[in-house]
């Protein structure tokens, strides 16, 4: 392992078909006032809303609802929840939905009493106190890993900035309930978008550093499991084994474990966040469209790892080929996987216009792993992705 580290994750996971049965015992640890945070109503269509409400009532909780949290959660929705927390003296935020709902709930939990929390906590990355409101989650869409980490990505529409912040462990969900069956109703588009978000999390941690460490072997196993399981799930949407594998890979991909002991990249996410700020596109689809041109731009700076990726993930035969040829064949295999999985390959399909590209590029945080990319390089990558 290249770097020393300390690892701690306080989230308790309940996984499986009967995992909702654990909600009652979890609720006993908190006071009477619960803020139920959810999205556009899909939890009502699948019957989960009624089940959760029934359990909350059985546990004698006072229920306050904050619905209609959008994908790419907005600052205004987060602040709506903050106001409810302050007004009703909330003891627990229960987020029921996908990563956007859980991200927004975590944002609410740390923003109490702040006049401009986005500026203080996201832009300036100020420390948060330990007085945040606890969060619990029930996951209905796979992708972000927010159920198992401190990440919170919020869009400030006025500033036209979409930015992530990783909060310390005391902000992580106290518990998360993961039933793969709750993901069956998600559209193929959203399922595949979420799956690429997972793959991108793994690649962002993998494509950095030349070290031969445990993290890279773990990441390779998770990538192979995800790719195999998604192919099955596209054909058989309610294949429980495939959907449960995808759900658990998503949680493991970003619970901070597999990135320990090495450097990381995250520039694909930085670029997509600003693409999303301008287009409000599905996060995973934006990542899919950006990844291939980005990796073509930087692969020479981490050639050894891209060769390893090609051979170990996509079974590229190295016989008679140069390292450059192997690496590029691996990136092409990634492009083919995106195409075969009905994902997006061009950002124009997501609402981007040529006129937007320079603004997106120059508002993106400069960074990278093997190579630190400049705003001008990001502009070139976006033109290739267009």
In which residue are the tokens 């997106």 written? Answer: 360
Contact 64, 34 (CB under 8 A): yes
What is the predicted pLDDT for the residue at 129? 82
Q: What percent of the chain has pLDDT over 90?
A: 96
Query: What is the pLDDT confidence band of residue 280, given thresholds at 50, 70 and 90?
Result: very high
Q: What is the mean pLDDT of residues 46-56?
A: 97
Neighbours of 89 (CB within 10 A): 12
What is the predicted pLDDT for the residue at 3? 83
pLDDT at 2 over 90: no
Neighbours of 227 (CB within 10 A): 18
Q: What are phi and psi of 287, to 5 degrees?
A: -60, -40
What is the predicted pLDDT for the residue at 131? 86
pLDDT at 164 over 80: yes
Fold (topology level) of 188-385: Dehydroquinate synthase-like, alpha domain (1.20.1090)
Report how far apart the first and last C-alpha atoms of the chain are (Å, whole number): 38
pTM of the model as a whole: 0.96
In which residue are the tokens 């998503």 written? Answer: 250
Q: Give the tens place of pLDDT for each residue, 294-304.
A: 999 999 999 99
Fold (topology level) of 12-182: Rossmann fold (3.40.50)
What is the predicted pLDDT for the residue at 201? 98
DSSP H helical ranges for the chain? 23-27, 42-45, 48-58, 75-88, 99-110, 117, 188-206, 214-235, 240-253, 267-279, 283-298, 303-314, 323-340, 354-363, 375-385
The dihedral through the CA atoms of 257, 260, 262, 264 has a sign that is: positive
What is the predicted pLDDT for the residue at 130? 78
- 3-state DSSP call for residue 166? strand
What is the predicted pLDDT for the residue at 366? 95
322 contact partners, CB below 8 Å, separation of at least 6: none
Q: What is the mean pLDDT of the chain?
A: 96
Identify the CA nearest to 243 among candidates 296, 184, 155.
184
What is the predicted pLDDT for the residue at 212? 77
Q: What is the mean pLDDT of residues 326-340?
A: 98
Domain with CATH 1.20.1090.10 in the chain: 188-385
What is the predicted pLDDT for the residue at 81? 98
What is the predicted pLDDT for the residue at 41? 83
Taking the C-alpha atoms of residue 343 and residue 334, their distance in angstroms, rounded to an integer, is 11
Domain with CATH 3.40.50.1970 in the chain: 12-182
Q: Give the tens place of pLDDT for each residue, 196-217.
A: 999 999 999 999 987 778 999 9
What is the predicted pLDDT for the residue at 248? 98
Taking the C-alpha atoms of residue 246 and residue 141, their distance in angstroms, rounded to an integer, is 10
Q: What is the mean pLDDT of residues 171-185?
A: 97
Taking the C-alpha atoms of residue 87 and residue 81, their distance in angstroms, rounded to an integer, is 10
pLDDT at 231 over 80: yes
Q: Give the tens place of pLDDT for each residue, 102-119.
A: 999 999 999 999 999 999
Taking the C-alpha atoms of residue 285 and residue 347, their distance in angstroms, rounded to an integer, is 9
pLDDT at 167 over 80: yes
Q: What are phi and psi of 301, to 5 degrees?
A: -80, -15
Contact 49, 185 (CB under 8 A): no
pLDDT at 40 over 80: yes
Taking the C-alpha atoms of residue 248 and residue 225, their distance in angstroms, rounded to an integer, is 10
Taking the C-alpha atoms of residue 2 and residue 363, their distance in angstroms, rounded to an integer, is 32
31: left (phi over 0), alpha (psi -120 to 50) or beta: beta
Widest pairwise Cα distance in the chain: 69
The pair of structure tokens assigned to 274 is 């600003």
What is the predicted pLDDT for the residue at 145? 96
The dihedral through the CA atoms of 310, 315, 203, 332 has a sign that is: positive
Taking the C-alpha atoms of residue 232 and residue 224, their distance in angstroms, rounded to an integer, is 13
Q: At what angle do helices 188-206 and 267-279 cross, to 10 degrees?
A: 150
Taking the C-alpha atoms of residue 300 and residue 379, their distance in angstroms, rounded to an integer, is 19
Pick from 204-213, 236-245, 309-318: least confident: 204-213
Taking the C-alpha atoms of residue 251 and residue 172, their distance in angstroms, rounded to an integer, is 13
């Amino acid at each position: 392992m290249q770097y020393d580290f300390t690892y701690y994750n306080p989230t308790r996971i309940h996984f499986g078909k009967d995992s909702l049965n654990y909600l009652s015992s979890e609720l006993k640890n908190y006071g009477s006032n619960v803020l139920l945070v959810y999205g556009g109503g899909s939890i009502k269509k699948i019957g989960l809303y009624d089940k959760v409400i029934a359990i909350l009532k059985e546990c004698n909780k006072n229920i306050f609802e904050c619905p209609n949290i959008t994908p790419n959660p907005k600052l205004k929705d987060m602040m709506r929840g903050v106001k409810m927390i302050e007004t009703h003296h909330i003891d627990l935020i229960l987020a029921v939905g996908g990563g956007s709902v859980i991200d927004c709930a975590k944002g609410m939990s740390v923003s109490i009493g702040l006049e401009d929390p986005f500026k203080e906590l996201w832009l300036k990355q100020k420390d948060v106190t330990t007085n945040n409101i606890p969060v619990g989650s029930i996951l209905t869409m796979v992708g972000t890993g927010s159920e198992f980490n401190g990440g919170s990505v919020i869009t400030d529409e006025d500033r036209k900035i979409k930015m992530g912040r990783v909060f310390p462990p005391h902000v992580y969900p106290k518990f998360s309930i993961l039933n793969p069956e709750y993901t069956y109703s998600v559209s193929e588009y959203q399922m595949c978008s979420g799956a690429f978000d997972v793959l991108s999390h793994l690649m962002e941690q993998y494509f950095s550093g030349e070290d031969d460490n445990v993290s890279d072997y773990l990441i390779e196993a998770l990538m192979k499991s995800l790719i195999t399981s998604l192919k099955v799930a596209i054909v058989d949407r309610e294949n429980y084994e495939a959907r449960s594998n995808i759900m658990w890979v998503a949680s493991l991909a970003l619970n901070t474990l597999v990135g320990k002991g090495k450097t990381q990249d995250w520039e694909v996410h930085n670029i997509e966040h600003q693409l999303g700020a301008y287009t409000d596109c599905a996060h995973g689809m934006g990542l899919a469209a950006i990844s291939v041109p980005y990796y073509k731009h930087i692969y020479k700076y981490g050639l050894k790892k891209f060769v390893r990726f090609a051979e170990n993930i996509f079974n590229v035969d190295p016989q008679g080929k140069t390292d450059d040829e192997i690496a590029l064949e691996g990136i092409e295999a990634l492009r083919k996987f995106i195409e075969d999985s009905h994902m997006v390959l061009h950002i124009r399909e997501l609402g981007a216009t040529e006129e937007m590209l320079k603004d997106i590029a120059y508002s993106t945080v400069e960074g990278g792993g093997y190579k630190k990319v400049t705003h001008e390089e990001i502009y070139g990558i976006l033109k290739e992705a267009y």
